[in-house]
Structure 1
Amino acid sequence: MARDYYQILGVRRDASKDEIKKAYRRLARELHPDINPDPATQDRFKEVTQAYEVLSDENKRRMFDMGQDPYAPGGGGAGGFGGATGFPFDDIVNAFFGGQTGGRGPRDRVRRGRSIKIRVELDLAETAFGVSKEITFPTAILCETCQGEGTSPGTQRTTCDMCHGQGEVSQVTRSFLGQVMTSRPCPQCAGQGSVIPSPCGDCAGEGRVREKVTRTVTIPAGVDDGIRIQLAGEGEVGPNGGPRGDIILEIVQRPHPTFERRGDDLHCTVSVPMTAAALGASFSFETLDGTENIDIRPGTNSGHVITLPNKGVTHLDGGGRGDLRIRIDVETPGKLDEEQEALLRKLAELRGEDQNPGRFSPGHGGLFSKLRDAFGANK
Structure 2
Amino acid sequence: MAKRDYYEILGVAKGCSADELKKAYRKVAMQFHPDRNPGNKEAEEKFKEAAEAYEILSDQDRRAQYDRYGHAGVSGNGRPGGFGPGAGMSMDDIFSQFGDIFGDDLFGSFFGGARGGRAGGRARGVRGSNLRIKIKLTYEEIASGVNKTIKVKKYVPCQTCSGSGAKDKSSVQTCPTCGGNGQVRKVTNTFLGQMQTVSTCPTCNGEGTTITNKCTTCKGEGRAFGEETVSIDIPAGVQEGMQLSLSGKGNAGERGGAPGDLIILVEEEPHPSLHRDGLNVAYDLYLTFPEAVFGTSVEVPTIDGKAKIKIPTGTQSGKIFRLRGKGFPAVNSYERGDQLVHVNVWTPQNVTSEEKAMLEKMAESSNFQPRPEKSEKSFFDKVREMFS
1:103–1:328: structure 2 CA closer, same or farther, 3 Å change rule? closer
C-alpha contact 2:123 2:182 (8 A) present in aligned 1? no
Q: 1:316–1:160: structure 2 CA closer, same or farther, 3 Å change rule?
A: closer
For the residues of structure 2 that align with 1:170 and 1:287, how far apart are their CA atoms?
A: 69
Query: Does the residue aligned with 1:266 lie in a helix, a strand or coil?
Result: strand
The reply on whether 1:267 has 2:264 as its aligned counterpart is no
Equivalent position to 2:324, from 309, 314, 318: 309
Q: What letter corresponds to residue 272 of structure 1 in structure 2?
A: L
- 1:242-297: CA deviations, max 9, x gaps? 33333222211122222121222111111212222112223332222223333322
Give the unaligned 5+ runs of structure 2. Answer: 1-36, 39-110, 376-388
Aligned pairs for 1:1-379 within 5 A: 107-165=122-180, 167=182, 185-317=200-332, 319=334, 321-351=336-366, 367=369, 370=371
Between stretches 102-111 and 237-246, larger displacement belongs to 102-111
Equivalent AA in structure 2 for residue 292 of structure 1: A
Whether contact under 8 Å (1:145, 1:153) holds in the other structure is: no
Determine if contact 1:307/1:326 at 8 Å carries over to the other structure: yes
- Aligned residue type for 1:118: I
TM-score (normalised: structure 2): 0.58
How much is the aligned-residue C-alpha RMSD, in angstroms? 3.6
The CA deviation at 1:116 is: 2.4
C-alpha separation in 2, matches of 1:112 and 1:321: 40
Which of 1 and 2 has greater Rg? Answer: 1
Change (3 A) 1:109 1:329: same
Distance 1:161 1:230 in 2: 40
CA distance in 2, matches of 1:215, 1:239: 21
1:348 & 1:248 partners in 2: Cα distance? 62
Equivalent position SS for 1:241? coil
Q: Give the count of matched residue pairs.
A: 267
Q: Residues 171, 319 of structure 1: CA spacing in aligned structure 2 closer, same or farther, 3 A cutoff?
A: closer
Task: State the percentage of identical aligned residues.
Answer: 35
SS in 2 for 1:300: coil
Pair 165,282 (structure 1): closer, same or farther in 2 beyond 3 Å? closer
- Give the 3 Å change call, closer, same or farther, for CA 134–186 of structure 1 in structure 2: same
Cα distance in 2 between the residues matched to 1:218 and 1:198: 42
Q: Which is further off, 153-162 or 224-233?
A: 153-162
CA displacement 1:324-368 (0-9 Å, x = unmatched) = 111101123344332112111222334366xxxxxxxxxxxxx36
Quote the Cα distance in structure 2 between the aligned partners of 1:132 and 1:185.
43
Contact 1:224 1:251 in 2 (8 A): yes
